[in-house]
Amino acid sequence: MFFDKRPKDNSVFEYSKLKIDECYVNISAHLQEIQNKIFLYALNKNCHGCPLKRIQEFKPGESKIQVFSTQYPWDLRFRFDGSSMYLSKLDEDPFKICDRDNIIFNEFGEYNLALTEESPDGCIEFEEIITPKNSYSPLYLYIILILLGTPLYFIGLRFFNMIKKKLKGKEASNNDSKNEDNVLRSRKKRVVSLDVFRGLTIALMIFVNDGGGHYYFMEHSTWNGLYVADLAFPWFMWIMGFCIPISLMSLNKRKIGLMQTLKDITRRSVVLFFLGLFWGNAGWIDLDKIRIPGVLQRFGICYFIVGSSLAFLFRYFSLKDEGGKIRDISNLWPRWIFALLLMVLHSLIIFLFPVPGCPTGYLGPGGLNLFNVTRANCIGGATGYIDRLIFTVSHIYSNPTAKHVYESNAFDPEGFLGTLTSAFQVFLGAQGGFIILSFKNESKTQILFRLLAWGLMFVVFGGTLCGFTLNDGWIPINKNLWSLSYVFITTGLAFILLSILYFIVDMMNIWNGGPFIYGGMNSILLYLGHSTAWNMLPFHFVIGTMNSHFARLTEALWGVSLWLFIAYILHKKSIYISV
C-alpha cells in the first residue's frame, strides 16, 4: 500500500511512467457547432501572476492524454485560437470558449476533462475515473510510529538503566547516568536547549536536503512563502548570533584582549568563508564559472560583522542591574542603532535602486511574473541586479527555485544584499544571548517569559510586513531575497521554539535532548559530512525507481538517523569539531 499505490498499467494509461505527484487527464471536446481545432491553455497556481500557457491542441471529438502535476491547483481555458504561447488573464479574450479555475488533481489519479454542452455549468465536465489514494499516508504512518516510538524509547531506556544497575551495582550506574547528564549540561556551560535546537535544525536540514519524502512543502518555496526547508538556514544564523555574546563574555572573563578577540573572530570568519567556497564547488570545477556566494560564505561574513561589532561593546559591558527590566536592550542599544541602519540601507536599495528594463522596487521572480510583462533577468529586482554587477552571471547560482516555474534567469539566494538582512538576523539572535546573560541570576521563568515575548513580537512584525498574505503585503516573506518579513517570521519562530525547549530541557529537566543534542554539539561536522556524502552509501540508497513518497521518506529519515547516530558515537568518544 505504502510502497507504490498507483494503479496497474492498461492499454491506455502507463501508470508506471508517472512520476511522484503526477496524474493522467483525458481531455476531449464534444461541441457540435465547433469544427476547427481547440486549444487548451493552463496555469499552475504555483506561478503567481503568470499568464496562461498553451499546453495542448485537438480536434472536436478527439481525445488527448495529458500529464498534470498534482502539487498545486490549475486554471484551465479552452480557446479557438492557439497562435499565442502565452495569454494574460487580465486581457479580454475574444477567442475564449470557456474556462475553469482551481481544479485540483491528486497523485496517480485518472480524470476526464470534457468540453461539452451537457456539463452542469454548460462548459467543462470534470470527472474522476480512478480515485487516487492519499499521498500523505506514508507521512501519517511515520508520524504515528514516532509518536508511539518516543514513549517506548524512554521506557526502554529506563528498563535498560534498571538492568544496568543490577549488573554493575546501583551506585556505579547512577554515576554513569549523572556523568552523561553532566557532560551534556556543563560543556562550555551552554544553555542545553540551545544545543538541542541546533541539533533539531541540522537534522531538519539533512532531512530536507535528502528530499523530505518529495513532499512539495518540505522543499524551498518557489518564490514567496515559507516552507519547511526555508527554516533551517535562518535558524542556524539566529543560533550563531545567540552564541556570540555568550562566547564573548567567556573571553572577557578570561581577560582576553580586544585585538586577540578580533583576530579570533576574523580567523573563524575566513575559515567559514573558504570552507563554503571549497565545499560548494566540489568536483571538476571551471574557474570561469565558480560560484562565489554560498551558505557558509554568508555565515562567515555575518559572523564577522556582528561578532566584531559586539566585541567592541564587551569592553564596556556589565551584567549589573542598570536598566532594570529592559537591561537586555539598554546594554545593547548602540548595536541596535547599527543593526537598524543596516535595515534602512537594505530597504532603500531594494525599493529605490533603478534596474534597467525592470520596475523600480520590484521584488518578484521576473520571467512570466506580472503576466509576462517583466523580463527573465528582472528576477529579484535590485537584489539580483547588484549580484550580477558584482559577481557576474557566471559566478552566481544558475538554477534558482523560480527558474523552472517562472522561466527566470540565474539568481543567487546567498547574494550580496541578503547578507545585510542576514547580519540583522544574527544580531537578533545575539539579542537572545543577551537575555540569557542579563537575567541569568534571576529565575528561569523570567528568561522563558522574555524569550517567548520576543518571539511573539517578531512573528507579529513579520506578519504585518507581509500583510498576513502570500503575495500582497508590503514585503512578502521570501527566502531567496532574505526579506525583512522573512527575517522577522523565522526569528520569531526561533525564539518560540527555543522557549519551548528551554522549558522542557532546562527548566523541567524532563528530557536531556537526545538524540538531537548530539547533532547540535557537532553541527559543522554533520553539515560538511552530509554535503560530501549525501549521494553515497550508506547515507543514500535507491531501490527500484524510488517513485513513491514512502520510498523517498524512508530514505530521508534513514539519512537523518544515521548522521545523528554518528554524532552520538562522537559524543561518547568526546570528539567535538568546531571552527
Angle CA 536–539–542, to nearest 5: 70
- The cell for 229 is 526547508
Rounded Cα–Cα distance for residues 199 and 18 (Å): 36
- The cell for 316 is 564596556
Q: Are 368 and 409 in contact (CB under 8 A)?
A: no
Q: Are 20 and 548 in contact (CB under 8 A)?
A: yes
334: preceding bond cis by omega (within 30 degrees):
no
What backbone torsions phi and psi does residue 74 show, to the nearest 5 degrees? Answer: -125, 145
Rounded Cα–Cα distance for residues 219 and 208 (Å): 6
94: preceding bond cis by omega (within 30 degrees):
no
Rounded Cα–Cα distance for residues 85 and 409 (Å): 19
For residue 102, give Cα distances in angstroms to 20, 105, 382.
21, 10, 33
Rounded Cα–Cα distance for residues 68 and 74 (Å): 9
| DSSP SS3 for 526 | helix
Annotated catalytic residue 220:
yes
DSSP string covering 133-155: PPTTHHHHHHHHHHHHHHHHHHH
| Beta-ladder partners of 75 | 43
Q: Going by C-beta distance under 8 Å and a sequence separation of 6 or more, which residues neighbour residue 250?
A: 188
515: preceding bond cis by omega (within 30 degrees):
yes
- Residue indicated by cell numbers 500557457: 53
What backbone torsions phi and psi does residue 53 show, to the nearest 5 degrees? Answer: -125, 135
Q: Which of 30, 48, 214, 220 is catalytic?
A: 220
The catalytic residues are 220
